[in-house]
């Protein structure tokens, strides 16, 4: 591992307490460095029995969320990773040298806004004048603004509190904030273990897209390895469609969260992994335009410039 990559990952992992490396049995000598989150791609591929089928060694590093994964991609500390549609625009606006090389299509319901079970808030309209915890320029921020506009409200009708998920969870529980806009396991955990209520999700309001992201450097030097990784993810998600309970049990063991939470995560994570198409680029452009219109990011950004439709798999 190059010195700069090693130093970056060591420093970042000491801050997050989440750094893991593992190597598959494979034929190729050069590993593909994969950035992941706990309960993410590595958990899925392992549960599906696909890690040993990789034609290249996979070296895994865990990150606490998309912002830190984007930092690692930008620094060249990892070659590939998965982020959502809004984080992709955020990365593009920040000048990260990356491209989306595959799309992961879900129904969008994994992103939602939740409130405490005893909250008087029953609808998006009830959020007026209230505080919403989320990550800045990420999927929860996007959903909140989309929900406000869908309800005929204004972008400044809520007060955003930009904090990490762990702090947001505590703030919601102790009443420091009125609502929490977040995604995936955080939503499932809040609803099932904490009794939080969902008032809206991204099913109608979001693209439901996430992306496999690769650095420009990796696309030049490890193109075939990236294509092979895309195939593994495609096969893993196909396996999940018919093995939901098996994956939920594996996911629960991996994350330490309860089986009911795991089942909810799996239910909202059902997806297909496909190459980048013109329709996907159009959807991503809509996300980018919305983020510009709502001032989530400065400037306007061309989705074609951050997507690569040439990697067939």
Q: Which helix (H) or strand (E) holds 15?
A: helix 3-16
**pTM of the entire structure?**
0.88
In CATH terms, the fold of domain 3-105+209-299 is D-Maltodextrin-Binding Protein; domain 2 (3.40.190)
Which of the four CATH numbers 3.40.190.10, 3.40.640.10, 1.20.140.10, 1.10.3720.10 does domain 111-201 have? 3.40.190.10
Residue 275's nearest CA partner among 241, 239, 308, 232 is 308
Which residues in the chain are classed under CATH 3.40.190.10? 3-105+209-299, 111-201
* Strand-pair partners of 115: 197
Give Cα 243 distance to the centre of its chain. 22
Q: Which helix (H) or strand (E) holds 262?
A: helix 259-269
Q: Which of 24-28, 34-38, 227-231, 244-248 has the lowest mean pLDDT?
A: 24-28
Per-residue pLDDT tens digits for 284-302: 999 999 999 999 999 999 9
Per-residue pLDDT tens digits for 76-133: 999 999 999 999 999 999 999 999 999 999 999 999 999 999 999 999 999 999 999 9
Catalogue the E-assigned strands of 143-216: 159-162, 179-183, 197-201, 209-215
Average pLDDT, the chain: 92
Q: Is residue 223 a contact partner of residue 311, using CB atoms and an 8 Å limit?
A: yes
Q: Which helix (H) or strand (E) holds 147?
A: helix 139-150
Q: Is residue 139 a contact partner of residue 111, using CB atoms and an 8 Å limit?
A: yes
Residue 266 tokens read as 């799996």
């Amino acid at each position: 591992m190059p010195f700069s990559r090693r130093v970056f990952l060591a420093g970042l992992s000491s801050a997050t307490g989440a750094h893991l490396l593992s190597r598959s049995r494979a034929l190729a000598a050069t590993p593909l460095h994969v950035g992941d989150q706990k309960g993410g791609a590595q958990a899925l591929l392992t549960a599906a029995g696909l890690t040993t089928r990789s034609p290249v060694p996979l070296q895994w590093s865990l990150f606490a969320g998309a912002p830190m994964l984007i930092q690692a991609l930008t620094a060249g500390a990892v070659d590939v990773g998965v982020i959502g549609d809004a984080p992709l625009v955020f990365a593009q606006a920040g000048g990260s040298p990356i491209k989306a090389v595959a799309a992961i299509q879900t129904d969008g319901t994994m992103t939602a806004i939740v409130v405490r079970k005893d909250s008087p808030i029953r609808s998006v309209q009830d959020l007026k004048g209230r505080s919403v915890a989320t990550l800045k320029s990420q999927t929860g921020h996007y959903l909140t603004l989309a929900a406000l506009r869908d309800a005929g409200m204004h972008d400044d009708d809520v007060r955003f509190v930009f904090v990490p998920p762990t702090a947001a969870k505590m703030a919601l529980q102790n009443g420091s904030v009125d609502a929490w806009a977040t995604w995936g396991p955080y939503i499932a955990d809040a609803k099932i273990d904490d009794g939080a209520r969902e008032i809206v999700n991204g099913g109608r309001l979001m693209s439901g897209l996430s992306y496999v992201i690769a650095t420009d450097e990796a696309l030049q030097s490890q193109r075939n390895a990236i294509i092979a990784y895309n195939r593994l993810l495609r096969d893993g998600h196909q396996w999940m469609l018919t093995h939901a309970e098996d994956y939920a049990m594996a996911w629960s063991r991996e994350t330490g969260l309860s089986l009911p939470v795991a089942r909810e995560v799996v239910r909202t994570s059902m997806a297909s992994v496909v190459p980048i198409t013109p329709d996907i680029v159009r959807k991503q452009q809509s996300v980018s335009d919305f983020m510009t219109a709502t001032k989530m990011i400065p400037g306007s950004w061309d989705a074609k410039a951050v997507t690569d439709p040439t990697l067939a798999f």
